[in-house]
């Protein structure tokens, strides 16, 4: 877990293979209730197409209301306020075997996207986005919990 924390603090380009090697060692987030709340999103500087796209959209985070009610893409509007990104739609949690690990994953309703989360600590999770159009490439990101879980 320390390796992943170090990776999040490392400036500059991060190759997908280097991120994956560390990400794969982390345990899965197995309980959707762990994720309930608002999380601030961050990613790694690299050449994945989603890195550029989300940066241009002013990606803020993800909001998990319940197992069947997730706002997978929240963005900042012109005033800096977090708003739901309608084109991305909503998502829900489902148990999925992805990359050889059975875990609870976030499945987008409108797009062929599955996000798998790995536990780093109670207020930080690592994410990997499996996107059908980019088969063979994985978009890695991480989320910080916006408030302490009660």
Give per-residue pLDDT as tens, 7-44. Answer: 999 888 888 889 999 999 999 998 889 999 999 988 88
Do the domain assignments include residue 31?
Answer: yes
Do the domain assignments include residue 53?
Answer: yes
Neighbour count for residue 79 (Cβ, 10 Å): 6
CATH classification at residue 119: 2.40.128.580
Domains held by the chain: number:
1
Give per-residue pLDDT as tens, 39-58. Answer: 998 888 887 777 778 788 89
* pLDDT cut 70: percent of the chain above it: 95
Q: How far is CA 127 from CA 107, 116, 137, in A?
A: 13, 6, 14
**Angle, alpha carbons 18-139-119 (nearest 5°):** 75
Do the domain assignments include residue 138?
Answer: yes
For 77, the domain range is 2-145
Neighbour count for residue 140 (Cβ, 10 Å): 22
Do the domain assignments include residue 132?
Answer: yes
Do the domain assignments include residue 150?
Answer: no
Task: Show Cβ contacts of residue 144 under 8 Å, excluding neighbours closer than 6 positions.
Answer: 39, 40, 42, 123, 124
Report residue 131: phi and psi, to 5°.
-120, 120
């Amino acid at each position: 877990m320390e390796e992943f924390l170090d990776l999040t603090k490392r400036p500059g380009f991060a190759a997908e293979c280097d991120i994956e090697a560390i990400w794969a060692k982390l345990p899965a987030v197995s309980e959707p209730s762990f994720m309930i709340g608002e999380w601030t999103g961050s990613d790694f500087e690299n050449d994945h197409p989603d890195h550029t796209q989300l940066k241009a959209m002013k990606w803020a985070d993800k909001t998990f209301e319940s197992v069947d009610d997730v706002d997978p893409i929240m963005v900042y509007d012109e005033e800096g306020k977090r708003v739901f990104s309608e084109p991305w739609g909503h998502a829900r949690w489902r148990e999925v075997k992805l990359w050889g690990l059975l875990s609870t994953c976030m499945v987008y309703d409108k797009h062929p996207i599955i996000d798998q989360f790995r536990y780093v600590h109670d207020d930080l999770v690592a994410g990997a986005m499996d996107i059908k159009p980019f088969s063979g490439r994985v978009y890695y990101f991480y989320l910080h919990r916006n408030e302490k879980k009660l």
